[in-house]
Amino acid sequence: MPQERAPTRIQIKNRAAILEAALEVFSAHGFRGSTVDQIAAAAGLSKPNLLYYFASKETIYTALLERLLDTWLDPLRALDPGGEPLEEILAYVRRKLQMSRDLPRESRLFANEIVQGAPRIHAALSGDLKVLVDEKAEVIRDWIAAGKLAPVHPHHLIFSIWSLTQHYADFDVQVRAVLGDEDPFEAAPEFVETVFRRLLQA
């Protein structure tokens, strides 16, 4: 069987341009409100050229979500069972808040997929994501049992970290409308960290 050729520099560049353009379009308009024509225009490619790399809008969207889910799980993977419990949790909070600051389009894309019932990543949510969350929840449960953290429900702690940190990306327009000229990420880190420190101190 002939070996597949490695993609050329142009192919790598075009594929990256398509995914970047798709992120911009999908995060602004959602899956249903976006078109291949919009993505092609944003990528600076013709529609036939785009379809050479991705067969459909669905294929582009799925590729984006798969890459995003892996990125989204990295901060939780970094939670170290051998570290100091409270500082490990607070470091996770900081990583998640930084992602909201640095990757707002990705956060909104992920949120839109979840709101729609996660039709394209449901298997991953109940697979890779669930396995990782269960694993880290068990670590937190052990810390609590050892008296190193105040007693809380580990899964709901993780959910609350997600909701509080990702709010700044998913509801960015609302947050900035209320704060006016104030950068939300100036005060958010100290506030969010204080909330979880007070909740978790044994």
Instruction: Check residue 4 and give its pLDDT.
Output: 63
Task: Please list the rounded mean pLDDT of every run of 10 residues in the chain (202 residues).
Answer: 71 93 90 93 95 94 87 93 98 96 90 86 88 97 97 98 95 95 96 97 86
Check: CB of residue 90 under 8 Å from CB of residue 193.
Answer: yes
Domain(s) of CATH 1.10.357.10: residues in the chain: 65-200
Instruction: Check residue 192 and give its pLDDT.
Output: 97
Architecture of domain 1-55: Orthogonal Bundle (1.10)
The token pair at 72 is 């989204």
Instruction: Check residue 21 and give its pLDDT.
Output: 96
Give the CA distances from residue 157 to residues 24, 59, 141, in Å, rounded to whole numbers and listed in that order.
Answer: 31, 34, 11
Distance CA 188, CA 194 (A): 10
Domain(s) of CATH 1.10.10.60: residues in the chain: 1-55
DSSP 8-state secondary structure symbol assigned to residue 54: -
Helix (H) or strand (E) holding 56: none
Distance CA 97, CA 103 (A): 10
Helix (H) or strand (E) holding 74: helix 57-77
Instruction: Check residue 28 and give its pLDDT.
Output: 86
Architecture of domain 65-200: Orthogonal Bundle (1.10)
The token pair at 38 is 């919009």
Instruction: Check residue 112 and give its pLDDT.
Output: 86
Instruction: Check residue 3 and give its pLDDT.
Output: 57
Instruction: Check residue 1 and give its pLDDT.
Output: 46
Please give the model's pTM, rounded to 2 decimal places: 0.85
